[in-house]
Amino acid sequence: MKFHELAIGQKFEFQGTAFVKSTPMIASALDTSTQKFMARSATVKPLDIMVASSSTNPSKLCVDVVNNAFEIFYASCQATLEEIHRELSAESFLLVKEKLKNERQIFLNSI
């Protein structure tokens, strides 16, 4: 099976190590939580069978998978903010940065 065929949150083995697919291009090692960029074409061995969820049984998300995906998103937001900081006043930049930090914490507290 190819990496891109796995569902987010699905566990698999790659080169003798167990991973979980965190995002469409990133996997997290199950034992160390280190992240690895994965080629879509990488051949992997699924460790669990993902059953298609029906509309009456919504799937439950793994907190670790959601947290990893959110941290990647948050880092991207921070990088984008750093790129445009020259277009903002120093005061506005700090306000936006603090608001982003506070909203991140609210999200993390909710999961």
What does each C-alpha distance from 33 to 1, 36, 60, 66 come to in angstroms?
22, 9, 20, 13
Which candidate, 18, 3, 5, 22, places its Cα nearest to that of 73?
22
Residue 72 has pLDDT above 60, yes or no: yes
- The tokens for 59 are 């799937």
Residue 89 has pLDDT above 90, yes or no: yes
Q: What is the pLDDT of residue 39?
A: 93
Q: What is the pLDDT of residue 50?
A: 52
More confidently predicted of 40 and 61: 40
pLDDT tens-digit series, residues 36-53: 999 999 999 998 765 444
* pTM reported for the whole predicted model: 0.45
